[in-house]
Amino acid sequence: MSSILPLKHPPETLAATPAALRQGWSSAKLRRRLAEHAIETLLLLAAMVSVFTTAAIVAILVWESVVFFRSVPLLDFLTDTQWTPLFDDAHFGILALLSGTLTTTIVALMVAVPLGTILAIYLSEFAPFRVREVAKPFLELLGGIPTIVYGYFALLFVTPVLQRIHPELPGFNMLSAGLVMGIMIIPYVSSLSEDAMRAVPMHMREASYAMGATRLQTALFVVTPAALSGLASSYILGISRAVGETMVVAIAAGMQPNFSFDPSEPAATITAYIVQVALGDLPHGSIGYQTIFAAGLTLLLITLVFNIIGHFLRKRFREAY
């Protein structure tokens, strides 16, 4: 016995249902596209903030530096070894500030690069899991300490210790500032280097072990060359961090411009001079005040050169696994 079930909706309603569904789907798809477009626009604007900020900084430095170089010849700025823009007998030789910047940076790198690399090798290849999970946060904590604390640590602790070894060392010197800067940038070098080493595939280590190599030989002759691009990036970051450091050198190295590469002497760096003038009473628009923009542009160009070198090193030694 067959029975015919009654229809719940009239035939004309059923005929109209697909069109209504298509219209609803189109509206939902349109709303989804608008929402995605709005989110993409918001993310693009957020990403462009750094680009606009960098462009604005460069524009201000270049604009003010052009005004400065209208009064000071570029050749004198690059070749004069005296920096006395605030004296009656004014000299504008950036070499006096550049020598202090490079000396403290070299001292810092002599501390940070070997210690940071050794720490990275240990954490990546030798440290047990629990040791690594405890040591790495403490190591990275060094990067969160305010730099002014490092400055007073260099002035009140490191310098007296060095004076016991070298009694003729003055109270302000580039050596103590550079040593503490090196300690300060160790986390930048070790953290990035360790990440680069841990990214090396395990089968390369296993192949080295299969050839009879020890863990130390594998770490030095297999893992380290394979992670060379990452190591170069960490070194370049450490250099940029050391070149741009302000408070440590301002407190421990003194603010006396001195064309010397002897780390036992006091000197002023580019960043320390900028702080000194920016906090002074020089009127805006004066030639003494505009020196900070020329010095800032020099510092920006130095950092740009190091970043370009790091980019080519990453491209040259980058390995794809």
- Residue 183 domain-assigned? yes
Mean pLDDT throughout 41-59? 89
The percentage of residues in the chain with a pLDDT greater than 90, rounded to a whole number, is 14
Q: Which two tokens stand for residue 279?
A: 């906090």
Q: What is the crossing angle of helices 228-243 and 95-121, to 10°?
A: 140
Domain that holds residue 24: 11-56
Q: Is the pLDDT of residue 17 over 60?
A: no
Are 178 and 278 within one domain?
Answer: yes
Mean pLDDT throughout 135-145? 81
Are 193 and 103 within one domain?
Answer: yes
> What pLDDT, on the 0 to 100 scale, is given for residue 21?
59
Burial class of residue 227 (count of CB atoms within 10 Å of its CB; 0-12, 13-18, 19+):
buried
Q: What is the pTM of this model?
A: 0.81
Are 143 and 272 within one domain?
Answer: yes
Q: Which of 94, 110, 77 is nearest to 268 (CA)?
A: 94
- C-alpha Rg value of the chain to the nearest Å: 30
Contact (Cβ atoms closer than 8 angstroms) between residue 123 and residue 115:
no
Q: Name the pLDDT band for 22 (thresholds 50, 70, 90).
A: low
Are 31 and 106 within one domain?
Answer: no
Are 52 and 189 within one domain?
Answer: no
- Residue 73 domain-assigned? no
Q: Which two tokens stand for residue 76?
A: 């004198």
CATH number at residue 239: 1.10.3720.10
Are 168 and 262 within one domain?
Answer: yes
When divided into structural domains, the chain yields a total of: 2
- Residue 68 domain-assigned? no
154-161, long-range: CB < 8 A, 24+ apart: 154/179, 154/180, 154/248, 154/251, 154/252, 155/251, 155/252, 158/252, 159/252
Contact (Cβ atoms closer than 8 angstroms) between residue 117 and residue 231:
yes
Can you tell me whether residue 92 is helix, strand or coil? Answer: strand
Are 180 and 281 within one domain?
Answer: yes
Q: Name the pLDDT band for 14 (thresholds 50, 70, 90).
A: very low
Q: Within 13 A of 173's CA, how many CA atoms are on the CB side?
A: 21
Mean pLDDT throughout 127-146? 83
- Residue 3 domain-assigned? no
- Residue 72 domain-assigned? no
Least confident of 232-246, 252-266, 268-282: 268-282
Largest CA distance in the chain: 119
Q: Name the pLDDT band for 1 (thresholds 50, 70, 90).
A: very low
Q: What angle do CA 245, 246, 251 make, to 5 degrees?
A: 125
> What pLDDT, on the 0 to 100 scale, is given for residue 145?
85
**DSSP 8-state assignment for residue 6:** P
Are 33 and 136 within one domain?
Answer: no
Are 102 and 47 within one domain?
Answer: no
Are 124 and 205 within one domain?
Answer: yes
> What pLDDT, on the 0 to 100 scale, is given for residue 7?
47
Which residues are paired to 92 by β-bridges? 83
Give phi and psi for 18, each to the nearest 5: -55, -40
